[in-house]
Structures are given as C-alpha cells and as structure tokens.
C-alpha cells in the first residue's frame, strides 16, 4: 500500500510557511509522521478524490492547488470491497458525492437509490509547522497558535488547513442521516478508508444507535480539540453503548489498559461520562450533548397557538409525533412506549430501583 512520502509533506509545509519550516520543524514533522504510521490501523479500501470536477491523487494535492475548494466533489472507493466483516458499524458504499450546500449523496454498494445526508469533516490527527523560535516563545508563555476546531463543511475544512497551515494526517467524514450519524475515518497518508476500531473487537448487537442530534453534540465536543485523541475516541464509543469497562475499551483500541483508564478518568473529571466503582463501567452523560431543556428551538420561538397556517401546524404536529415515536431510554437505548414519557424504560427503572 503506497504511503505519501515525507518529502511531499515537507514541500507543502514550506509552501505554507516558507522559511519558518526550519530544520527544527522538519525534524518535528518527521517524528509526527513516523509515530502516525507506526500505529495500528486496519484499511478498508483505497479511495480517490474529485474536487470541482478534477481528480486528485490525494488530499495534499488539493491543499497545494489554490484553485481547489472542494465545495463540490466525490470520494470514491477503488475498488469498493463487498459487504463483509470489514464494514461492521458502517454502511457499505461505493462513492460519496458532496454538494455545494453541504449535503452529500451516499451511494450504496448494493443496488438502490443514494441516501441524502448532511456532510461535515472532523480533523483527527495533524501536524502544525512551527519554527524553533516559535516553539521557544510558546514555551516561555508567549503567543501560541489557537486551533478553533469545529465540525465544518469540506470546503471550510480545506480553507482552515490553508489558513492555519495544518498538515492533516487523518480526518473523519461525518454523514448525518435522519436517524443516525455515520463516521468514516480516512487515513490521508495511505489514502485509505479505515474500518471502525470496533470491527471484529466488539459485538455489533451491543451498539446503541444514537440520533443525529446526539451525535452532533458529541462531534462538537470532540472537534474543540481540547481532548487527547484516545479520550475523544473513548468518548465516541462509550456514547454508542449502554456502558463499557476500561478492559473492553483497551481491547477495542489494542492498547495498554492503564492508558485507556487514564483517558476515561479524564472524561470523568470533565463530567462527560460517569464511573460506577462497583461494576467498573463507564457510562455517557447524554444530557450534556443535547440543548438544555428550557432552550427553545429556532423554529419554535412563538407558541404553537399563534401558527395561523393549517399546513404548517399539521407539519409541526407530525414532527412532534415522529420525535415522540423515536424516543429512547438514555441508559440502554431501547425505544420508549407511546404516551406519557418517563425518563427510563421499564427494565432500567426496575434495575435502578433495585440498586
């Protein structure tokens, strides 16, 4: 499997910052490059990129082309592997077409119409060129580069990399569907789509599917960039479960349990997950990833009684009914029965009462 040579990244860094990419920065880039390639990653399939109708060999070629914006484009698997174990926790596809409005069409491998989604990009790992003088000033308390991370469109992601002189090593393509969010990890140095880290290491039946709204909240927390990489990955997987132990997560990531334990305790300290000392289980605090209960939605500033358009009133009522029908228990993810809602399902209510 071909790997983007270090010389190509050096050239792009020098295009970004000129002489600031000095020998110190070159050595730091080489270390980050080697450390990234040394980590375990399971490839799913190589991919090709098309931006504004022009095909590029990799994302770095797009970054080096000032005319490429990726407001429209395509990510195509070459070739697309057939459905199988490698697709666990993912929806098999052959290509993703990105539109200018930030949406995307996911074309499945099986025959059928494409699935429309909202497409966003999330920075995973990167290198930021910094000269020795800049590093010394930052260590002495001087000004440091602040990365204002957020979940953005692909065009905004390309612009951010150019503006902040970032060399991305890996990113995640986030597709928000009506019922759930899909996350496709891209290894940019090997130009491959990666399998989900849970594939072959965690039973699919134990996954709790969260709504796109919940996943959006989680993605925004991860995108801030103030969580270590392992902690952010642990958070993403814990949220899509009813609770996991550090042993289970260490097996998923193939790492040392103490490192995973430290990452999880950091999430506990931030209040993002809870820890049950009796069972050793970490559980997500889902309420943190949703807007506050008292905060009105943008479309509901006025009371429903003031809506004079019957068609609009019917549409709002249908949306509320659909949301009510998809309500789930925050602990186990099981659907809640119709009618007046309780916080937990009957089974979890009984378990909590017994405890």
Asked if residue 195 lies in contact with residue 45, where contact means CB atoms within 8 angstroms, the answer is no
Exposed / middle / buried, residue 132 (Cβ in 10 Å: 0-12, 13-18, 19+) = middle
Greatest mean pLDDT among 108-112, 211-215, 304-308 lies in 211-215
Give the residue among 102, 219, 230 at the shortest CA–CA distance from 172. 219
Q: What is the pLDDT of residue 80?
A: 87
Q: Beta strands of the chain (E only): which ranges?
A: 43-51, 54-56, 73-77, 93-98, 103-108, 115-127, 167-176, 181-187, 192-194, 244-245, 273-276, 281-284
Domain 198-290 indexed as CATH 1.10.10.10: yes
What is the per-residue pLDDT across 203-234, written as a single tens digit (0 to 9) for each? 999 999 999 999 999 999 999 888 999 999 99
What is the per-residue pLDDT across 227-264, written as a single tens digit (0 to 9) for each? 999 999 999 999 999 999 999 999 999 888 999 999 99
- pTM of structure: 0.79
Complete DSSP assignment for 140-188:
TT----------B-HHHHHHHHHHHT-EEEEEEEEEE-SS-EEEEEEET
Mean per-residue pLDDT over the chain, rounded: 84
Output Rg (C-alpha) for the chain, integer angstroms.
22
Q: How far apart are CA 33 and CA 30, in angstroms?
A: 5
Per domain, the residue ranges of the chain are 1-82+91-130+147-195, 198-290, 291-311+322-354
Q: How far apart are CA 210 and CA 191, in angstroms?
A: 29
What is the per-residue pLDDT across 46-69, written as a single tens digit (0 to 9) for each? 999 999 899 999 999 999 998 888
Q: Is the pLDDT of residue 153 over 70?
A: yes
């Amino acid at each position: 499997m071909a790997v983007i040579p270090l010389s190509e990244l050096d050239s792009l860094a020098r295009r970004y910052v000129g002489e600031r990419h000095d020998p110190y920065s070159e050595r730091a880039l080489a270390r980050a490059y080697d450390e990234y390639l040394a980590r375990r990653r399971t490839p799913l399939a190589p991919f090709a990129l098309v931006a504004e109708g022009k095909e590029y060999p990799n994302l770095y070629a797009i970054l080096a082309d000032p005319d490429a914006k990726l407001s429209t484009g395509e990510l195509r698997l070459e070739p697309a592997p057939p459905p199988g174990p490698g697709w666990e926790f993912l929806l098999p596809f052959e290509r993703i077409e990105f539109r200018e409005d930030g949406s995307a069409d996911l074309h499945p491998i099986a025959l059928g119409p494409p699935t429309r989604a909202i497409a966003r990009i999330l920075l995973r790992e990167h290198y930021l060129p910094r000269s020795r003088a800049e590093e010394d000033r930052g260590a002495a308390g001087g000004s440091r580069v602040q990365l204002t991370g957020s979940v953005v469109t692909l065009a905004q992601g390309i612009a951010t990399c150019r503006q902040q002189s970032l060399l991305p090593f890996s990113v995640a393509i986030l597709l928000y569907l009506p019922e759930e969010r899909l996350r496709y990890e891209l290894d940019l140095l090997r130009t491959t789509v990666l399998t989900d880290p849970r594939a072959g290491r965690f039973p699919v039946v134990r996954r709790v599917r969260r709504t796109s709204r919940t996943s959006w909240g989680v993605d925004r927390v991860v995108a801030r960039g103030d969580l270590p990489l392992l902690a952010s990955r642990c958070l993403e997987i814990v949220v899509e479960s009813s609770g996991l132990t550090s042993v289970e997560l260490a097996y998923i990531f193939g790492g040392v349990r103490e490192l995973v334990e430290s990452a999880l305790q950091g999430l506990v300290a931030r209040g993002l997950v809870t820890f049950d000392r009796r069972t050793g289980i970490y559980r997500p605090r889902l309420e943190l990833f949703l807007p506050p209960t008292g905060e009105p939605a943008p479309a509901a500033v006025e009371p429903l009684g003031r809506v004079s358009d019957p068609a609009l009133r019917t549409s709002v009522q249908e949306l509320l009914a659909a949301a009510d029908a998809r309500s789930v228990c925050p602990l186990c993810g099981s659907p809640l029965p119709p009618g007046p809602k309780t916080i937990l399902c009957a089974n979890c209510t009984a378990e909590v009462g017994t405890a």
